[in-house]
């Protein structure tokens, strides 16, 4: 057990924190609305090589892993940066396993943008694809075939939504590329969707942390009844609960990222728990955290000049795009998790849950 | 960064299981639930006899050469089998405190007896009027001459701030009442926090005493709790103890308490709390059928609620791992420990409430009715539901933990007056 980042990871964290704070302040976030995409910022992000950070080195990427991507996602979340880094990174990793250099090179170079449909296509359309309104390429599963779609028009018709995200329905044209077929294609697709979830979880941790900071700043300045409102018990207790939940969520998000990095082959029963758990936890967290921060900032949160008012919107919306219609927690995610629990309950287990003890070589950095 | 959970007691697990197989009667766990007493004297005697209580203690005070990790593995195994040793927890907490702050004579007088299993010590901190505000204790201790003749010299113990064992001798007379003196019904002593100086700020006028339960004037009354545990109110009506029963300096009890609290908050007890509720519920839901013949688990909302429980259990697990990691680095994870307890206890109350909803009528069946009506997991759910209620109160109430987090992690100004 070791919760320290490596020196490189720490450096990445500091660099990206500064980068997003400088390049994606609230003014940039607001200017990008309602589409939720800033092309100039995206070009800068691409130039930094971030979308290719976890693509293998022999495909031109940096060869890093999900922990590094989670770091980037968390810091992107802190700033609500209007760039589809999570989609591009996830689609890129999937394409690195299934597509050739001709497809991958422009993605790695940041010249083209790929995204991932979060649900299999139904009747020739991939619905509510994140970054679907701005992507050049969409990777989607249809039945047992993994498809690569070249989008005809960019930006496409974005569907207005609560989180100001560049969502779109992407039609599947007649001329498409079948990247792979069969059980491996299906497994690869679902792995990519889970990776999207865990990175979105990390981004939500970022949103929640920033919302808490804004709330803390505020309560340490605002006075009522002659004293700082920070000294009121109810304020303190709610913020303490927030901080605890954020700690828990962050631990879970990074556990999920670590688990993704170490696993090889089909996921062991314990493994999907992390990713599902992390998504689940993060869904509740930022909305509550952001709402509490909004609540403690009182009426100010209702004015458009407050940065907190930007908080609650992406929070609840982002995870909902991965859900099949339930308002809060995607049932599929939880059913998946619960089924794994059943599997374990059905076997004779020895006490306690242990991670697989096979310490296969992994890319995890020390 | 890695989340591998290493078992530092792995080498001792088999031996611990073997010891438990040989020494633990299977009916003890149910007996503890039934009687509400979380201490089994026969088990305690066996632990003492085999030198397990003395593991890790200095030999000059009766420590044994039993491997400390083996002893820890034994206690893990006991907990796994549902056999608690709350009396030993409080006793060893006090014994550690004695080792830190007491005189040599006191260490020799008490520690060997503790490790032989002959002394069991209950905690006497809380009172009817003070729990979280423990320094507000009103039980008094007044110094009297040893010959026991009447009035104390010159009033209360004011000015008696000499180090224990020097200068003033004599006895102390204790009057007052303690609440939630758990395990006092089996204890040979109570570690009593008493006010020895009412003329100074509350933290500065406290002293701790080891009071024998055989003392004249001592009484113990059971208190039956919602969760099934039977604790006690203890009464001190002119209980007289010699000065050598005073642990730490006169009026210096608060600094002794701080040592004791370090052991109570148990930052060192970072072994994962093994939680199986989600797993048990899922197993039940898979087998249980609705009137239409489908499994309860096939209801997506039910599966979702069980999943939510599993997620929170995982967060608690990783928070526990974090505590272990910090402790191994030699850090004192007070904030992380508070966060873990706060998160765990608040969530399990919701979990057990959810569990009872999911189980429906079966969920409210008591253990006694379990065999007859097939209540899931032997009726543990309804018992655990009740037992969860007190967890947000004892060992650091949630409200206090939130304030610790607010002050020390978030930098907010203290909200309660000192």
Domain ranges in chain B are 10-84, 122-253, 277-408
Q: What is the pLDDT of residue A354?
A: 29
Give CA–CA dist A333/A194, Å, rounded.
9
Residue B354: C-alpha distances to residues B276, B303, B348 (Å): 14, 12, 9
Give CA–CA dist B92/B115, Å, rounded.
9
Residue B202: C-alpha distances to residues B140, B164, B181, B318 (Å): 12, 20, 22, 39
* Crossing angle for the helix pair B334-359 and B277-287, to the nearest 10 degrees: 10
A71 pLDDT higher than 50 = yes
Is residue B378 very low, low, confident or very high in pLDDT (cuts 50, 70, 90)? low
Q: Would strands B121-124 and B189-195 be described as parallel, antiparallel, or unpaired? A: parallel
Q: What is the pLDDT of residue A236?
A: 96
A279 within 8 A of A323, measured Cβ to Cβ: no
Find chain A residues with C-beta within 8 A of B80's C-beta: 351
The verdict on a CB contact (< 8 Å) between A281 and B315 is: yes
B157 pLDDT higher than 80 = no
User: What average pLDDT score do residues B3-10 get?
Assistant: 86
A346 pLDDT higher than 80 = no
Report the alpha-carbon angle B200-B204-B206, nearest 5.
Answer: 105
Higher pLDDT, residue B164 or A165: A165
A70 within 8 A of A258, measured Cβ to Cβ: no
Give CA–CA dist A339/A276, Å, rounded.
12
Residue with tokens 């908080």: A311
Is residue A46 very low, low, confident or very high in pLDDT (cuts 50, 70, 90)? very high
Which residue in B224, B208, B197 sits closest to B258, CA to CA?
Answer: B208
Q: What is the pLDDT of residue B70?
A: 96
Mutant choice from A219, A345, A361 vs B, greatest count of B C-beta within 10 A: A345
Chain CA centroid to CA B289, Å: 40
Give CA–CA dist B175/B195, Å, rounded.
10
Eight-state DSSP code of residue A268? P
Which of A142-151, A154-163, A173-182, A317-326 bottoms out in mean pLDDT, i.e. has the lowest? A317-326
B335-360 pLDDT, tens digit per residue, is: 999 999 999 999 999 999 999 899 88
User: What average pLDDT score do residues A273-280 get?
Assistant: 44
Backbone angles phi, psi at B210, to 5 degrees: -95, 105
Token pair for A93: 């990793």
Token pair for B267: 């930052």
**What HEC string does chain B produce?**
CECCCCCCCHHHHHHHHHHHHHHCCCCHHHHHHHHCCCCCHHHHHHHHHCCCCCECCCHHHCCECCCHHHHHHHHHHHHHCCCCCHHHHHHHHHHHHHHHHCCHHHHHHHHHHHHCCCCCEEEECCECCECCCHHHCCCEEEEECCCCCCCCCCCCCCCCCCCCCCCCCCEEEEEEEEECCCCCCCCCEEEEEEECCCCCCHHHCEEEEEEECCCCCEEEEEEECCCCCEEEEEEEEEEEEEHHHEECCCCEHHHHHHHHHHHHHCCCCCCCCCCCHHHHHHHHHHHCECCCCCEHHHCHHHHHHHHHHHHHHHHHHHHHHHHHHHHHCCCCCHHHHHHHHHHHHHHHHHHHHHHHHHHHHHHHCCHHHHHHHCCHHHHHHHHHHHHHHHHHCCCCCHHHHHHHHHHHCCCCCCCCCC
Which of A305-314, B135-144, B245-254, B314-323 bottoms out in mean pLDDT, i.e. has the lowest? A305-314
Mutant choice from A7, A240, A249, A279 vs B, greatest count of B C-beta within 10 A: A240
The verdict on a CB contact (< 8 Å) between B282 and A216 is: no
Q: What is the pLDDT of residue B108?
A: 97
Identity of the residue in B6, B280, B300 whose CB atom sits nearest the CB atom of A1: B6
The verdict on a CB contact (< 8 Å) between B315 and A248 is: yes
Identify the closest residue of chain B to A350 by CA–CA distance: B80
The verdict on a CB contact (< 8 Å) between A274 and B278 is: no
The verdict on a CB contact (< 8 Å) between A244 and B413 is: no
Q: What is the pLDDT of residue A304?
A: 27
Give CA–CA dist B298/B307, Å, rounded.
13
Higher pLDDT, residue A263 or A105: A105
Find chain B residues with C-beta within 8 A of A346's C-beta: 283, 286
The verdict on a CB contact (< 8 Å) between B307 and A274 is: no
Which residue in A70, A66, A67 sits closest to A78, CA to CA?
Answer: A70
A363 pLDDT higher than 80 = no
Which of A5-9, A109-113, A289-293 bottoms out in mean pLDDT, i.e. has the lowest? A289-293
Chain B nearest-CA distance from A141, in A, is 24
Q: What is the pLDDT of residue B168?
A: 54
Q: Is the dihedral of CA B100, B105, B109, B112 positive or negative?
A: positive
- Coil, helix or strand at residue A64: coil
B257-287 pLDDT, tens digit per residue, is: 988 887 775 543 445 567 889 998 998 899 8
User: Is cis: bond before A34, omega within 30 of 0?
Assistant: yes
B191 pLDDT higher than 60 = yes
Give CA–CA dist A168/B380, Å, rounded.
50
Query: Within 13 Å of residue A161, how many CA atoms lie on the same side as its CB?
Result: 25
Which residue in B203, B207, B204, B190 sits closest to B243, CA to CA?
Answer: B207
Which of A347-351, B118-122, B226-230 bottoms out in mean pLDDT, i.e. has the lowest? A347-351
The verdict on a CB contact (< 8 Å) between A248 and B319 is: yes
Which of B14-23, B159-168, B321-330 bottoms out in mean pLDDT, i.e. has the lowest? B159-168
Q: What is the pLDDT of residue A174?
A: 87
Strand partners, B179: B233
The verdict on a CB contact (< 8 Å) between A337 and B409 is: no
Share the mean pLDDT of chain B: 89
The verdict on a CB contact (< 8 Å) between B278 and A338 is: yes
The verdict on a CB contact (< 8 Å) between A249 and B339 is: no
Identify the closest residue of chain B to A283 by CA–CA distance: B308
Token pair for A213: 């900071």
Q: What is the pLDDT of residue B5?
A: 84
User: What average pLDDT score do residues A65-70 get?
Assistant: 96
Find chain A residues with C-beta within 8 A of B297's C-beta: 338, 342
A261 within 8 A of A357, measured Cβ to Cβ: no
A345 within 8 A of A196, measured Cβ to Cβ: no
A337 pLDDT higher than 80 = no
Give CA–CA dist A29/A311, Å, rounded.
11
User: What average pLDDT score do residues B363-376 get?
Assistant: 66
Token pair for B288: 């249980």
Q: What is the pLDDT of residue A212?
A: 97
Which residue in A234, A204, A205, A253 sits closest to A296, CA to CA?
Answer: A234
B204 pLDDT higher than 90 = yes
Q: What is the pLDDT of residue A225?
A: 92
- Coil, helix or strand at residue A230: helix
Token pair for B347: 């969530």
Identify the closest residue of chain B to A209 by CA–CA distance: B410
Find chain A residues with C-beta within 8 A of B274's C-beta: 351-352
Give CA–CA dist A124/A151, Å, rounded.
13
Find chain A residues with C-beta within 8 A of B406's C-beta: 236-237, 239-240
Query: What's the topology of domain A196-346?
Result: Butyryl-CoA Dehydrogenase, subunit A; domain 3 (1.20.140)
Q: How many CB pairs under 8 A join A and B?
A: 177
Q: What is the pLDDT of residue A297?
A: 38
The verdict on a CB contact (< 8 Å) between B2 and A359 is: no
Q: What is the pLDDT of residue B166?
A: 41
Strand partners, B174: B141, B239
Tell me the percentage of chain B whose pLDDT exceeds 90: 71
Identify the closest residue of chain A to B3 by CA–CA distance: A1
A263 pLDDT higher than 90 = no
Find chain B residues with C-beta within 8 A of A248's C-beta: 315, 318-319, 339, 343
Find chain B residues with C-beta within 8 A of A351's C-beta: 80, 274
B231 pLDDT higher than 50 = yes
CATH dotted code for B277-408: 1.20.140.10
A114 pLDDT higher than 80 = yes
The verdict on a CB contact (< 8 Å) between B318 and A252 is: yes
Identity of the residue in B3, B280, B304 whose CB atom sits nearest the CB atom of A255: B3
Higher pLDDT, residue B145 or B147: B145
Find chain A residues with C-beta within 8 A of B317's C-beta: 353
Q: What is the pLDDT of residue A192?
A: 96
Share the mean pLDDT of chain A: 78
Give CA–CA dist A200/B344, Å, rounded.
25
Identity of the residue in B301, B325, B342 whose CB atom sits nearest the CB atom of A244: B342
Higher pLDDT, residue A184 or A353: A184
CATH dotted code for B122-253: 2.40.110.10
CB-based burial, A88-104: b 16+ in 10 Å, e otherwise: bbbbbbbbbbbbeeebb
Give CA–CA dist B164/B98, Å, rounded.
13
Find chain B residues with C-beta within 8 A of A230's C-beta: 412-413
Mutant choice from A225, A246, A248, A350 vs B, greatest count of B C-beta within 10 A: A248
| Burial degree of A175 (CB within 10 A; 0-12, 13-18, 19+) | exposed
Find chain B residues with C-beta within 8 A of A2's C-beta: 1-2, 325
Q: What is the pLDDT of residue B376?
A: 64
B199 within 8 A of B50, measured Cβ to Cβ: no
- Coil, helix or strand at residue A199: helix
Higher pLDDT, residue A336 or B355: B355
A121 pLDDT higher than 90 = yes
Q: Would strands A137-142 and B140-144 be described as parallel, antiparallel, or unpaired? A: unpaired
Q: What is the pLDDT of residue A342?
A: 33
Chain A nearest-CA distance from B20, in A, is 15
Would you put residue B193 in left (φ > 0), alpha (ψ -120 to 50) or beta? beta
Give CA–CA dist A166/A157, Å, rounded.
9
Find chain B residues with C-beta within 8 A of A281's C-beta: 311-312, 315
Identity of the residue in B279, B322, B343 whose CB atom sits nearest the CB atom of A244: B343
B245 within 8 A of B121, measured Cβ to Cβ: no
Identity of the residue in A2, A230, A241 whose CB atom sits nearest the CB atom of B2: A2
Eight-state DSSP code of residue A311? S
- Residues across chain A: 366
Is residue B377 very low, low, confident or very high in pLDDT (cuts 50, 70, 90)? low
User: What average pLDDT score do residues B188-193 get?
Assistant: 98
Tell me the percentage of chain A whose pLDDT exceeds 90: 63
Task: Tell me which H or E stretch contains A344.
Answer: helix A331-346
DSSP string of A92-137, one letter each residue? HHHHHHHS-HHHHHHHHTTSS-EEE-SS--BTTEEEEETTTTT-SE
User: What average pLDDT score do residues B12-16 get?
Assistant: 96
B145 pLDDT higher than 70 = yes
Give CA–CA dist A194/A197, Å, rounded.
5
The verdict on a CB contact (< 8 Å) between A335 and B307 is: yes
Q: What is the pLDDT of residue B374?
A: 59
Identity of the residue in B318, B399, B409 whose CB atom sits nearest the CB atom of A243: B409
Is residue B91 very low, low, confident or very high in pLDDT (cuts 50, 70, 90)? very high
A323 within 8 A of A248, measured Cβ to Cβ: no
Chain A nearest-CA distance from B386, in A, is 23
Report the range out of A158-172, A258-272, A308-322 with the highest average pLDDT. A158-172
Task: Tell me which H or E stretch contains A142.
Answer: strand A137-142
B66-83 pLDDT, tens digit per residue, is: 999 999 999 999 998 989
B309 within 8 A of B281, measured Cβ to Cβ: yes
Q: What is the pLDDT of residue B265?
A: 59
């Amino acid at each position: 057990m070791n919760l320290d980042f490596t020196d490189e990871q720490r450096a990445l964290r500091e660099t990206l924190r500064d980068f997003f704070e400088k390049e994606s302040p609230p003014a940039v976030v607001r200017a990008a609305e309602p589409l939720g995409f800033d092309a100039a910022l995206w070009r800068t992000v691409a130039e930094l090589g971030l979308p290719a950070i976890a693509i293998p080195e022999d495909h031109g990427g940096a060869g890093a892993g999900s922990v590094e991507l989670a770091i980037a996602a968390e810091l992107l979340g802190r700033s609500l940066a209007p760039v589809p880094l999570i989609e591009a990174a996830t689609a890129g990793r999937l394409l690195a396993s299934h597509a050739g250099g001709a497809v991958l090179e422009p993605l790695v170079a940041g010249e083209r943008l790929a995204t991932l449909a979060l649900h299999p296509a139904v009747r020739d359309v991939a619905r509510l694809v994140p970054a679907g309104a701005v992507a050049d390429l969409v990777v989607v599963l249809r039945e047992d075939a993994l498809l690569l779609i070249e989008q005809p028009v960019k930006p496409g018709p974005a569907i207005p939504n609560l989180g100001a995200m560049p969502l779109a329905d992407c039609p599947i044209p007649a001329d498409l590329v079948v990247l792979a077929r069969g059980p491996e294609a299906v497994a690869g697709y679902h792995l990519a969707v889970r990776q999207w979830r865990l990175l979105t979880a990390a981004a939500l941790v970022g949103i929640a942390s920033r919302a808490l900071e804004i709330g803390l700043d505020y309560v340490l300045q605002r006075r009522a009844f002659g004293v700082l409102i920070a000294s009121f018990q109810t304020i303190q207790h709610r913020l303490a609960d927030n901080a605890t939940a954020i700690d828990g969520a962050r631990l879970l998000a990074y556990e999920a990222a670590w688990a993704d990095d170490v696993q090889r082959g089909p996921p062991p029963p314990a493994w999907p728990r992390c990713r599902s758990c992390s998504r689940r936890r993060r869904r509740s967290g930022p909305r509550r955290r952001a709402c509490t921060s909004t609540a403690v900032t009182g009426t100010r949160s209702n004015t458009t000049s407050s940065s907190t008012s930007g908080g609650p919107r992406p929070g609840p919306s982002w995870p909902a795009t991965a859900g099949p219609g339930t308002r809060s927690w995607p049932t599929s995610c939880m059913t998946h998790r619960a089924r794994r629990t059943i599997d374990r309950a059905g076997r004779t287990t020895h006490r306690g849950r242990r991670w697989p003890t096979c310490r296969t070589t992994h890319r995890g950095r020390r | 960064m890695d989340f591998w959970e290493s078992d530092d007691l792995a080498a001792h697990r088999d031996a611990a299981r073997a010891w438990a197989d040989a020494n633990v009667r299977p009916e003890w766990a149910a007996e503890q639930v039934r009687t509400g007493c979380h201490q089994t004297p026969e088990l305690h005697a066996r632990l003492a006899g085999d030198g397990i209580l003395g593991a890790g203690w200095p030999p000059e005070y009766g420590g044994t050469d039993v491997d400390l990790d083996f002893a820890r593995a034994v206690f893990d195994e006991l907990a796994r089998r549902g056999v608690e040793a709350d009396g030993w927890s409080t006793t060893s907490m006090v014994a550690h405190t004695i080792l830190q702050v007491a005189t040599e004579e006191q260490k020799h007088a008490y520690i060997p007896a503790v490790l032989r299993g002959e002394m069991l010590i209950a905690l006497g901190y809380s009172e009817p009027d003070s729990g979280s505000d423990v320094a507000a204790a009103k039980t008094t201790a007044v110094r009297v001459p040893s010959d026991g003749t009447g009035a104390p010299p010159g009033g209360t113990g004011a000015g008696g701030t000499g180090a224990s064992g020097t200068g003033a001798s004599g006895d102390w007379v204790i009057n007052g009442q303690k609440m939630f003196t758990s395990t006092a019904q089996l204890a040979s002593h109570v570690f009593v926090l008493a006010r020895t100086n009412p003329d100074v700020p509350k933290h500065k006028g406290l002293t701790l005493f080891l009071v024998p339960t055989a003392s004249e004037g001592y009484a113990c009354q059971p208190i039956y709790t919602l969760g099934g545990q039977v604790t006690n109110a203890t009464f001190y009506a002119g209980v007289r103890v010699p000065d050598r029963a005073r642990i730490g300096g006169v009026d210096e009890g608060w600094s002794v308490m701080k040592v004791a609290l370090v052991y109570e908050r148990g930052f060192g007890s970072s072994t994962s709390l093994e939680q199986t509720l989600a797993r048990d519920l899922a197993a039940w839901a898979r087998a249980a059928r609705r009137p239409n013949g489908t499994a309860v688990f096939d209801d997506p909302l039910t599966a979702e609620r069980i999943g939510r429980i599993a997620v929170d259990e995982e967060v608690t697990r990783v928070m526990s791992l974090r505590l272990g990691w910090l402790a191994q680095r030699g850090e004192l994870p007070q904030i992380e420990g508070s966060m873990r307890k706060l998160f765990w206890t608040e969530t399990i109350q919701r979990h057990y409430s959810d569990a009872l909803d999911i189980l429906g009528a079966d969920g409210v069946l008591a253990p006694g009715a379990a065999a007859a009506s097939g209540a899931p997991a032997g009726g543990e759910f309804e018992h655990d539901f009740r037992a969860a209620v007190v967890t947000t109160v004892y060992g650091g109430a949630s409200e206090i933990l939130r304030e610790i987090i607010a002050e020390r992690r978030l930098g907010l100004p203290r909200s309660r007056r000192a």
